[in-house]
């Protein structure tokens, strides 16, 4: 409520002023997408939309109401981002359906694409990549959705390892490339550790692997959990030196296949590649979104995407 509904001039004294009730009701109705009469009626429960068309992947249970608040807040924030795009952001066009083809467009025959390269390339295709700093709990890892005919990739979990975040972004881009998400039918990936052998998830995983590491095999193990994190870091570094594939991307590609995220996190930390993702994504958000020209209510939503935007370096 305080973050995205109450105006920025609100203080404790305002709660005792009945003249402000209608303004609050208007804001609640706008955020939830319901009528004013529904908001004003104390007998009615106020709930976010359930998004019955959403495809929930890697979810612990089948109760979609659990994720409804986070889904709705994320989609509302995505809409604010789309309304506040700078004129330099083009109309959206999807990446190629083949991951290797997109990789070739991004970096050609050079070294592996970085997180910043992948995210910037999506922005330049008119596809915003939005890291969410504030979401209701429980949250989700990644979402691909369509807002006002524009694909948007949303990141819910606040992971900061560039390799891990790059894989999530490329995975969600795979859903967009394949046309898995449509208006009113987002794809929501909750937890990477949860197995999901559905065809669309296998396809998106393969897409991300092809984009990030090409046709190089990820580090192979005899069995999940049978390698020490230092050995994983060393083997990934060897592949990076010989094949040009980024070690951090290799490690998290392996983790996505095995579910051994704790080992992967320690491995990238050993390689000093465990931080910096959020800063890179926020820098791109500043570059392509005009925060200062947004409406008051949109600014409140944009602060959920980048709560510290005003303190960061000026947008370029």
Mean pLDDT within 262-291:
94
CA distance linking residue 264 with residue 225, whole number of Å: 10
- Percent of the chain's residues with pLDDT above 70: 89
Q: Is 173 exposed, middle or buried (0-12, 13-18, 19+ CB in 10 A)?
A: buried
Mean pLDDT within 34-53:
89
Mean pLDDT, the chain, rounded, equals 86
Of 48-52, 55-59, 270-274, 311-315, the one with minimum mean pLDDT is 311-315
Pick the more confident residue, 310 or 116: 116
Cβ proximity of 120 and 113 under 8 Å: no
DSSP per position, 79-93: HHHHHTB-TTSPPP-
Confidence of residue 310 (pLDDT cuts 50, 70, 90): very low
pLDDT tens digits for range 96-128: 999 999 998 887 756 678 899 999 999 999 999
Size of the chain in residues:
316
Confidence of residue 6 (pLDDT cuts 50, 70, 90): confident
Mean pLDDT within 17-26:
90
Tracing tokens 């948007």 back to the chain, one arrives at 152
State both tokens at 84. Answer: 């506040």
**Residue 143 scores a pLDDT above 50:** yes
Which pTM was predicted? 0.88
Cβ proximity of 123 and 89 under 8 Å: yes
Cβ proximity of 145 and 75 under 8 Å: yes
Mean pLDDT within 171-198:
86
Confidence of residue 314 (pLDDT cuts 50, 70, 90): very low
User: How many other CB atoms sit within 10 Å of the CB of residue 106?
Assistant: 19
**Residue 135 scores a pLDDT above 70:** yes
State both tokens at 143. Answer: 């979402």
- Give the best-scoring range by mean pLDDT among 15-19, 79-83, 295-299: 79-83
pLDDT at 270: 94
Task: Say which DSSP state 94 is in.
Answer: P
CA distance linking residue 179 with residue 94, whole number of Å: 9
**Residue 197 scores a pLDDT above 80:** no
**Residue 316 scores a pLDDT above 60:** no
């Amino acid at each position: 409520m305080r973050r995205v509904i109450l105006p920025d001039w609100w203080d404790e004294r305002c709660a005792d002023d009945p003249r402000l009730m209608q303004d609050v009701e208007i804001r609640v109705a706008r955020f939830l997408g319901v009528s004013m009469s529904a908001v004003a009626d104390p007998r009615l429960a106020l709930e976010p939309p359930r998004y019955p068309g959403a495809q929930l992947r890697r979810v612990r249970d089948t109760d979609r109401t659990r994720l409804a608040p986070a889904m709705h807040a994320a989609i509302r924030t995505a809409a604010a981002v789309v309304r506040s795009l700078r004129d330099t952001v083009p109309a959206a066009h999807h990446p190629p359906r083949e991951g290797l083809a997109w990789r070739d467009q991004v970096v050609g025959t050079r070294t592996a694409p970085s997180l910043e390269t992948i995210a910037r390339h999506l922005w330049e295709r008119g596809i915003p990549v939005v890291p969410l700093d504030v979401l209701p709990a429980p949250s989700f890892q990644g979402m691909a959705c369509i807002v006002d005919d524009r694909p948007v990739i949303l990141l819910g979990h606040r992971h900061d390892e560039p390799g891990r975040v790059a894989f999530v972004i490329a995975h969600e881009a795979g859903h967009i490339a394949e046309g898995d998400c449509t208006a009113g039918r987002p794809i929501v990936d909750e937890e990477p550790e949860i197995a999901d052998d559905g065809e669309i998830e296998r396809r998106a995983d393969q897409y991300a692997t092809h984009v990030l590491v090409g046709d190089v095999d990820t580090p192979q193990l005899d069995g999940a959990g049978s390698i020490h994190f230092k050995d994983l870091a060393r083997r990934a570094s060897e592949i990076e030196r010989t094949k040009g594939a980024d070690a951090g991307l290799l490690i998290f590609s392996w983790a996505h296949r095995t579910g051994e995220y704790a080992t992967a996190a320690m491995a990238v930390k050993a390689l000093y590649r465990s931080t910096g993702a959020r800063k890179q994504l926020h820098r791109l958000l500043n570059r392509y979104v005009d925060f200062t020209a947004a409406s008051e209510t949109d600014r409140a939503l944009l602060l959920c995407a980048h709560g510290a935007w005003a303190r960061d370096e000026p947008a370029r």
